[in-house]
Every structure is written in structure tokens, then in C-alpha cells.
A = this chain, B = another copy of it.
């Protein structure tokens, strides 16, 4: 005899497939939805369906956009500098940089990073499309903002090589101590990078 009715167990199983949600959290969410007003779960269900149907990727930078658009809001914004491209792994990274609010240029979303272990090669990422944008000739600088991880570094290195034939400045986000961080708890590699990248005080 199963302990839970099938529809409830099914919802728990569906929640468990999401990242960071274990069996306990999944149960808690499912039981919460049982008690909550119907609108809470129906709106979530509708939003889930809407996500698949209504979102697509920008044909220029491959950021997430509405399905009926060929360009995202950022690429369509004539105010933004067309000469600088910031290359990121994921759409969430665009959001993080936009929230900081200091980047005037456009983006290029790779949708991942090189990872031999996971079998992700250059052809799985939007690297060729980046090369085509640079080849176009209007780009002055490509800021590589892949994650400060092994995969992110490998991807940055690969992109640098791919773009070597073009006259474009290629930069990478600075490494160092995170603002508000604590030197005492900072890992060795970060300290080494922070030392190597030390700057004159103004």
C-alpha cells in the first residue's frame, strides 16, 4: 500500500527533479499546495506552460526573449553601445550584470561552457555565432565574462584563440577579493589572483 495518493506522489516526484529540491522540500511544497488556494498551483502550472510556449532566444545574442521576437530588448535598444560585447555562459549572467547597471554594451550568451567531462564541445555553444558577430567588423571589444571556474576559463581561452585573427580587444573580468568578503576565509587561488592583479591606489 503506497503511503501517499498517486497525484500527490507524482507532484513530489516532479518537484524532486528541480535542482536543490530534495525529497523533504518536495513534500513540503506539495503539501503546501494542497492547503493553499487553488490559484497558487494553477498559476504556477500556467506559468510553466507559458515558459515553453512564449519564450525563445534572441537571434543576435541568444539571450532569452519572447518567442515572437527575433531580437531581445537589449539588442533592440539603439541606445546601447554596439561596439562592446560581453560574453556570458547563461541568461542568468546577463541579469546579474544588468542589475549591476554599469555595462553599456550588448551581450552574447553561449548557453554553457566547454566541459569535456559532460561532453560539451565548442559546437554545443554559440561560439561560432560570436565569431560571425566579430567578423562583421563593428565590434571593438569582447569582454569574456564566463564563470571563474575551470570550464569558464577553458571557454575563455578557446574564445580568445578563435577571435585571434580579428582586430578586436579581448578582455576578461577581473579576479580578486569579492566586495564584502573576508580575507581570512578567502581561498588561496583567489588570494593569488588578487595579489597578481593588485592595482595602484588612486
Contact = CB atoms under 8 A, between A and B. Distances in A.
Interface string A56-85: 000000001110000011000100000000
A190 to B, nearest CB: 22
Contacts of A38: 52
Leading 3 A-B pairs by shortest Cβ distance: A7-B54, A45-B48, A11-B47
**What's the number of copies of this chain in the assembled complex?**
2
Contact of A19 (B1, B28, B49, B91): B28
A1 B73 CA distance: 8
Given A5-B64, A95-B3, A14 B43 contact: yes
A68 B6 CA distance: 13
A25 interface: yes
A4 B45 contact: no
Given A14-B44, A64-B34, A1 B77 contact: yes
Interface in A4-51: 4-8, 10-11, 13-15, 17-21, 25, 27-35, 38, 40-51
A189 to B, nearest CB: 25
A35 B14 CA distance: 16
Interface residues of A, number: 58
Contact of A99 (B3, B18, B46): B3
Given A6-B66, A64-B8, A66-B6, A41 B33 contact: no
Given A27-B92, A29-B19, A45-B48, A34 B55 contact: yes
A68 B31 CA distance: 19
A53 B92 CA distance: 35
